[in-house]
């Protein structure tokens, strides 16, 4: 780095992401008492920018805005500018991402949030371009407008901050059910079916594009199937696992999985490779092999594990965080091939033509750079165009050619490696390697898991024996979060290290317990720099810390503590269980070992509802039959709220039916307000009860509630 470039306070940090910004002309602070004190002293709002090292659009905004001298000067004159690595401080990311979603109806990174000096958010967004374009305001215009509002319309700013903060407080603790809830196996199965109801039978996986693996749901399904065989449910799992393994989301040369697919077919990935994704998928494919005996799942699991040991393992035995999506500002450049390139590398191999055919290179280019070029495909993401039920995964000749291409690929410039060592992500990989080692009878996987666990126990600890969150080149730092404790306890149990797991469980109770009503806060009892201390029951891509804590407590023979945690979230599981697979799995394990459970009613009837519960209450629905094949769904929206149109680009209102064949559905045109009706025409009169599920997002003039799905059972006419 040239000495002529500016240097800011981030140069003293160890996070690779923060160090990327150390030579911006922006007067960046890390999240620190120094920065927060300056904001209060000068009554200057905070610009909080949150991202991570392998985030493509984070790099774009840095190049376009934060490296621009004029924009940086504008930022420095108007705001206290704070840069946060979301992987070091997931508590800040989680809190302000919720605020961003409330304010903007969407989220993502880079996350750009404007805070009052008391840390309450009042405006937010994600990526902003350097000038107005593509329907987005330019960042300089945003900066000027925010400063003007703060100086000249402070009442509006305060009102926005108060409203958002009120919603954040509502989500901070789950509302207990007003009535007792009986949780038994049929209750659990009903919620499993709900969670899997958006299975894509054509392409595998769940939902539409962009399509994520949804590992927590897949693990829930496999855990259920272990004791409750069901061919239909297993077919959903196998269709999904096969589609991902054959698609371009899997790096067919290196063995790892990219972060998600940009399309519904799993063909074109977003090219980041994350430790946590591969940890959860390693566990899933190893378990799928154990349950089905299919050799292809063992091969996929070995591919993931071998990649991690060769490319993501530090000399000390711990695991690095991620590989970037781009190389020299070109997304996926390291991984892409042309037919001519592959043919040249394989010129001496007698089966080269079969490789080109098998991996889709004979079908023409399938990748167009989304940020450069003319938009026309000119390169290839490798995928199994001829999967043959996984046969290419086990073919020795194809394996030889994959290694030849991989050797050539390694001579290219490689994407940036994020060398952070995160406790919770390492714990996920430790558990997965231990599981795969036992199933695949590979001691080197188990040994690698034990070495990493010993590293964390020796190096990611504070003076009182508690955990620390992260290390890079120096000592570990940042107090750990609930995920770090819960995931590591579970990982230690997978290695039969019960004494160490019990010690950490005791500290977890001391530092994170939410009290006699059960459950755990995400941050420990010493957190002083947050406006809200949250309890979280939903999975992100990661399983919820409360769900894994309950599972681990069951393994430690502490069923009462596990029961209290499950009970704390039972009200949410009753009404909005989708996205809560880890907690649902913990409830299932409790029922298996200790029988049905009955939760108690909430002790505080005046406790505010969470945003998801508020969203469910916004819409009242009645079902009216018109004829034996036609019915109407009469909907009444609460005052001040509206729903997006059925054909809206973001969070459309959509109805699905299960157990009846649809001829057509007629939605009202445009945005939905007040009272409206949805007409459903069936192909034939149903002979049994069926289910209607309406997904929607309720918004008012200033904020949006989360997307929810309301479900109703209907009887034949």
Q: Would you place residue 1 in the very low, low, confident or very high pLDDT band (cuts 50, 70, 90)?
A: very low
Which of 362, 336, 356, 223 lies closest to 287, judged by CA?
223
Q: How far apart are CA 343 and CA 235, in angstroms?
A: 37
CB 515 within 8 A of CB 493: no
Residue 394: pLDDT above 90?
Answer: yes
Q: Would you place residue 77 in the very low, low, confident or very high pLDDT band (cuts 50, 70, 90)?
A: very high
Residue 470: pLDDT above 90?
Answer: yes
Residue 583 lies in a domain: yes
Residue 598: pLDDT above 90?
Answer: no
Residue 181 lies in a domain: no
Structure tokens given for 212? 């994520």
CA 594-598-601 angle, 5° bins? 150
Residue 313 lies in a domain: no
Tokens 């993931």, residue located: 304
Q: What pLDDT does residue 294 have?
A: 98
Q: How far apart are CA 501 and CA 486, in angstroms?
A: 9
Residue 593 lies in a domain: no
Q: What pLDDT does residue 602 have?
A: 62
Query: The domain spanning residue 580 has which CATH number?
Result: 1.50.10.20
pLDDT tens digit string along 671-681? 898 999 999 99
Considering the domain architecture, whether residues 414 and 424 belong to the same structural domain is answered as no
Residue 617 lies in a domain: yes
Q: What pLDDT does residue 5 have?
A: 74
Question: What counts of helices (H) and strands (E) characterise the chain?
Answer: 25, 27
Strand partners, 625: 631
Query: The domain spanning residue 661 has which CATH number?
Result: 2.60.40.1250
* Contact partners, residue 500, CB within 8 Å, separation at least 6: 457, 492
Strand partners, 435: none
CB 208 within 8 A of CB 264: yes
Which of 452, 445, 562 lies closest to 497, judged by CA?
452
Pairing between β-strand 421-422 and β-strand 468-471 as defined by DSSP bridges:
antiparallel
Which of 709, 675, 704, 671 lies closest to 691, judged by CA?
709
Tokens 């980041």, residue located: 272
pLDDT tens digit string along 609-663? 556 667 788 889 988 999 999 999 999 998 888 898 888 876 789 898 888 889 9
Considering the domain architecture, whether residues 412 and 342 belong to the same structural domain is answered as yes
Q: What pLDDT does residue 4 have?
A: 65
Considering the domain architecture, whether residues 400 and 445 belong to the same structural domain is answered as no
Q: How far apart are CA 323 and CA 332, in angstroms?
A: 11
Q: What pLDDT does residue 180 have?
A: 84
pLDDT tens digit string along 666-716? 999 988 989 999 999 999 999 888 888 898 988 776 556 777 888 877 888
In whole angstroms, how far apart are CA 527 and each of 470, 479, 481? Answer: 17, 9, 10
Structure tokens given for 199? 């299975």
Q: How far apart are CA 135 and CA 3, in angstroms?
A: 38
**Rounded average pLDDT over 217-229:** 98
What is the percentage of the chain residues whose pLDDT exceeds 90?
A: 76
Considering the domain architecture, whether residues 264 and 331 belong to the same structural domain is answered as yes
Q: Would you place residue 603 in the very low, low, confident or very high pLDDT band (cuts 50, 70, 90)?
A: low
Q: Of 418, 445, 475, which residue is a domain's last?
A: 418
Q: Of 525, 556, 588, which residue is a domain's last?
A: 588
Considering the domain architecture, whether residues 437 and 567 belong to the same structural domain is answered as yes
How many domains does the chain fold into? 4
* Helix ranges restricted to H, 215-368: 215-227, 231-246, 275-292, 295-311, 339-345, 352-358
Residue 264 lies in a domain: yes
| Three-class SS state of 693 | strand
pLDDT tens digit string along 315-336? 999 999 999 988 988 889 999 9
Residue 509 lies in a domain: yes
CB 451 within 8 A of CB 473: no
Q: What integer best gives the mean pLDDT of the chain?
A: 92
Complete DSSP assignment for 387-434: -GGGHHHH-HHHHHHHHHHHHHHTTSPPPPEE--EEHHHHHHHHHHHH
Q: What does residue 205 show for φ and ψ, rounded to 5 degrees? A: 80, -170
Q: What pLDDT does residue 612 have?
A: 67
In whole angstroms, how far apart are CA 679 and each of 501, 597, 632, 715? Answer: 55, 40, 5, 16
**Confidence (pTM):** 0.84
Query: The domain spanning residue 101 has which CATH number?
Result: 3.40.30.10
Q: What pLDDT does residue 611 have?
A: 62
Considering the domain architecture, whether residues 60 and 163 belong to the same structural domain is answered as yes
Structure tokens given for 450? 């034990």
Residue 363 lies in a domain: yes
Q: What pLDDT does residue 145 have?
A: 96
Which of 305, 542, 522 lies closest to 430, judged by CA?
305
* Contact partners, residue 557, CB within 8 Å, separation at least 6: none
Q: What does residue 7 show for φ and ψ, rounded to 5 degrees? A: -130, 130
For residue 451, what is the enclosing H or E element?
helix 443-459
Q: What pLDDT does residue 218 have?
A: 98
Q: Of 521, 554, 588, which residue is a domain's last?
A: 588
CB 540 within 8 A of CB 581: no
**Rounded average pLDDT over 302-314:** 98
pLDDT tens digit string along 561-597? 999 999 999 988 988 888 999 999 999 999 999 999 9
Considering the domain architecture, whether residues 572 and 656 belong to the same structural domain is answered as no
| Virtual torsion, Cα 206, 207, 210, 215, nearest 10 deg | -30
> Length of the chain in residues, anyone?
717
Residue 605: pLDDT above 60?
Answer: no
Considering the domain architecture, whether residues 413 and 454 belong to the same structural domain is answered as no
Domain range for residue 94? 9-170
Considering the domain architecture, whether residues 427 and 397 belong to the same structural domain is answered as no
pLDDT tens digit string along 504-521? 999 999 999 999 889 999
Considering the domain architecture, whether residues 22 and 166 belong to the same structural domain is answered as yes
Q: What pLDDT does residue 244 have?
A: 98
Considering the domain architecture, whether residues 230 and 364 belong to the same structural domain is answered as yes
Considering the domain architecture, whether residues 161 and 264 belong to the same structural domain is answered as no
CB 323 within 8 A of CB 417: yes
Residue 488: pLDDT above 60?
Answer: yes
pLDDT tens digit string along 144-181? 999 999 999 999 999 999 999 988 888 788 877 778 89
pLDDT tens digit string along 97-107? 989 988 887 78
Q: What pLDDT does residue 703 have?
A: 58
């Amino acid at each position: 780095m040239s000495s002529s470039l500016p240097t800011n306070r981030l140069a003293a940090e160890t996070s690779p992401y923060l160090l990327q910004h150390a030579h911006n002309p922006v007067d960046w602070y890390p999240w620190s008492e120094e920065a927060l004190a300056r904001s209060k002293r000068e009554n200057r709002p905070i610009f909080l920018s949150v991202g991570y090292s392998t985030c493509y659009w984070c790099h774009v905004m840095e190049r376009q805005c934060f490296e621009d001298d004029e924009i940086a000067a504008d930022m420095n004159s108007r705001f206290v500018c704070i840069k946060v690595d979301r992987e070091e401080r997931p508590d800040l990311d989680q809190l302000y991402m919720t605020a961003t979603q409330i304010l903007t109806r969407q989220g993502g990174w880079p996350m750009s949030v404007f805070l009052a000096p008391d840390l309450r958010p009042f405006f937010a967004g994600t990526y902003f371009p350097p000038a107005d374009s593509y329907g987005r305001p330019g960042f300089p215009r945003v900066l000027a407008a925010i400063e003007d509002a703060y100086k000249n319309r402070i009442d509006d700013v305060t009102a926005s901050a108060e409203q958002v903060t009120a919603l954040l407080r509502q989500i901070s603790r789950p509302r207990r059910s007003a009535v007792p809830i009986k949780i038994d196996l049929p209750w659990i199965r009903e919620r499993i079916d709900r969670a899997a109801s958006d299975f894509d039978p054509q392409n595998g996986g769940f939902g539409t594009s962009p399509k994520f693996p949804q590992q927590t749901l897949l693990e829930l399904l496999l855990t259920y199937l272990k004791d409750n065989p069901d061919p239909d449910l297993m077919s959903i799992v196998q269709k999904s696992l096969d589609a991902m393994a054959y698609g371009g989301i899997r790096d067919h040369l290196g063995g790892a999985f990219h972060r998600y697919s940009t399309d519904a077919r799993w063909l074109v990935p977003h090219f980041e490779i994350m430790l946590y994704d591969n940890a959860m998928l390693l566990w899933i494919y190893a378990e799928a092999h154990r349950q089905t005996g299919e050799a292809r799942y063992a091969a996929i699991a070995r591919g993931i594990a071998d990649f991690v040991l060769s490319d993501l393992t530090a000399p000390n035995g711990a695991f690095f965080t991620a590989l970037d999506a781009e190389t020299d500002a070109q997304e996926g450049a390291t991984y892409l091939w042309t037919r001519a390139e592959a043919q040249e590398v394989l010129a001496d191999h007698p089966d080269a033509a079969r490789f080109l055919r098998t991996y889709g290179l004979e079908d023409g280019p399938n990748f167009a750079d989304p940020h450069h070029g003319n938009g026309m495909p000119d390169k290839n993401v490798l995928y199994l165009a001829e999967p043959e039920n996984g046969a290419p995964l086990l073919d020795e000749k194809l394996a030889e050619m994959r290694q030849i291409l991989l050797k050539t690929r390694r001579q290219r410039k490689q994407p940036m490696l994020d060398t952070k060592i995160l406790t919770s992500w390492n714990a996920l990989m430790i558990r997965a390697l231990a599981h795969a080692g036992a199933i695949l009878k590979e001691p080197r996987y188990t040994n690698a898991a034990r070495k990493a666990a010993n590293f964390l126990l020796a190096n990611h600890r504070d003076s009182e024996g508690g955990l620390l969150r992260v290390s890079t080149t120096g000592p570990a730092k940042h107090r750990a979060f609930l995920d770090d404790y819960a995931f590591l306890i579970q990982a230690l149990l997978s290695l039969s290290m019960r004494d160490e797991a019990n010690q950490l469980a005791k500290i977890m109770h001391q530092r994170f317990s939410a009290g006699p009503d059960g459950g755990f806060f995400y941050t420990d009892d010493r957190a002083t720099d947050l406006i809200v201390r949250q309890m979280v029951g939903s999975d992100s891509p990661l399983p919820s810390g409360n769900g894994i804590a309950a599972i681990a407590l069951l393994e430690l023979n502490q069923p009462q503590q596990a029961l209290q945690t499950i009970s704390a979230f039972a009200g949410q599981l009753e009404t909005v269980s989708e996205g809560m697979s880890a907690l649902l799995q913990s409830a299932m394990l409790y029922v298996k070992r200790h029988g049905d459970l009955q939760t108690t009613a909430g002790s505080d009837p005046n406790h505010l509802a969470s945003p998801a519960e508020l969203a469910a209450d916004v819409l009242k629905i009645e079902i009216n039959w018109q004829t034996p094949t036609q019915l109407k769904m009469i909907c009444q929206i609460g005052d001040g709220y509206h729903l997006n149109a059925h054909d809206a680009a973001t969070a459309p209102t959509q109805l699905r039916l299960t157990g009846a064949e649809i001829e057509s559905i007629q939605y009202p045109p445009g945005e939905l307000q007040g009272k409206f009706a949805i007409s459903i025409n069936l192909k034939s009169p149903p002979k049994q009860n069926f289910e209607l599920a309406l997904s929607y997002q309720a918004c008012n003039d200033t904020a949006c509630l989360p997307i929810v799905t309301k479900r109703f059972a209907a009887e034949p006419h």
